[in-house]
Each structure stands twice: as C-alpha cells, then as structure tokens.
Amino acid sequence: MAGTKFISLMMSLQTQSTHNCFGLLLHPEQIIRLDFESDKPLLLDDVHAIDALISRADRTFTYNTENIRGLLAQLAKVNNNSEAHSEFQRFLE
C-alpha cells in the first residue's frame, strides 16, 4: 500500500509542477485544466481500467466543451492562424 501512495504522490507532484510551469509561460485564460475526482485509487497498470478511464475522460470533456471551445476560439483569433481556425471548425462539427 505504501508503494501505491508514493506513486500517487509522485504523479500529483508532476501534475502540479506541469500546471505551475504552464502558469509561468501562459496567461491564466490560456490554460484549461481538466481533472476528475476519484473515490478510489486509479489502477493505471490494470488493462481492465481502460474503459472506466475513457468514460471519465469523455464525461470530463463533455462537461468542459464550452470552456474548450472558448479557448480554441481565442487562440485562433489571437494567432490569426488559418490552421488553428480549421482545427477549431473541425472541433465545432
């Protein structure tokens, strides 16, 4: 059990570190962090957990679609980039 807690701690620290780095490089409105809560540890090395992880990712994406659309629209506008605009249009479809 101690090994699981250690790995969980390391993953949490890596996530926080990455988020902090993005915070130093980008404006807050350019960052969307997608997380979900779990009442039990995630079994990342268990192939049977894949369907549950995909389901959680789908649900998290669905609940954050408007935020993601807003960010992509902002980035396409700021960059005035036709490729970014095309990606945004594909996302809207």
Q: Which of 13, 10, 14, 31 is nearest to 22 (CA)?
A: 31
Q: Residue 75: its pLDDT value, please? A: 76
* Higher-pLDDT residue of 90, 50: 50
| 20 shares a domain with 9 | yes
| 41 shares a domain with 64 | yes
DSSP 8-class letter at 37: -
| 44 shares a domain with 25 | no
| 93 shares a domain with 70 | yes
Rounded distance, CA 86 to CA 78, Å?
A: 14
Structural domain that includes position 89: 32-93
| 41 shares a domain with 13 | no
Tell me what the mean pLDDT of segment 48-65 comes to.
89
Write the CA distances from 59 to 1, 8, 45, 50, 63, integer angstroms. Answer: 29, 22, 21, 14, 6
| 49 shares a domain with 18 | no
| 59 shares a domain with 42 | yes
Total domain count for the chain? 2
End-to-end CA distance of the chain: 45
| 66 shares a domain with 39 | yes
Indicate the pTM of the whole model. Answer: 0.63
| 58 shares a domain with 22 | no
| 93 shares a domain with 77 | yes
